[in-house]
Amino acid sequence: MENKYIIIVAVFGFLGSFFQPLDSYELKKKKKNDTVEEDATICIDSLRNVNDSLINALQIENRLLKDKNLKYKKYIKRHGKKLYR
C-alpha cells in the first residue's frame, strides 16, 4: 500500500518537473564609463591619503610628547620640584 503512494508521488513529481518555470534572466555587464564609481574611487583614495598623513603626524607628535614627558620626569627626579605648565 505504501509503495503505491510512493510511486504516485514520484510520477506527479516527474510530471511537475516539466511544468516548472525557467529562470530566464541575463547578467547585465557594467558600463565601462561609470562616472559615479570612478568619482567614488577617487574620493576614497584621497581620503585614504589624508588619513595616512594625519596618522603619521599624530605618531610624530606622540613621540615628541613622550620625549618631553621623559625629560620632565627626569627633571623632577633630579631637582625634586614640581613643574607648573
pTM of the model: 0.47
Q: What was the pLDDT predicted at 61?
A: 96
Residue-wise DSSP of 36-80: HHHHHHHHHHHHHHHHHHHHHHHHHHHHHHHHHHHHHHHHHHHH-
Q: Kindly tell me if the per-residue pLDDT of 8 is higher than 70.
A: yes
| Span 45-72, pLDDT tens digits | 999 999 999 999 999 999 999 999 888 8
Half-sphere CA count of 78, side-chain side, radius 13 A: 6
Phi, psi angle pair for 55, to nearest 5°: -65, -40
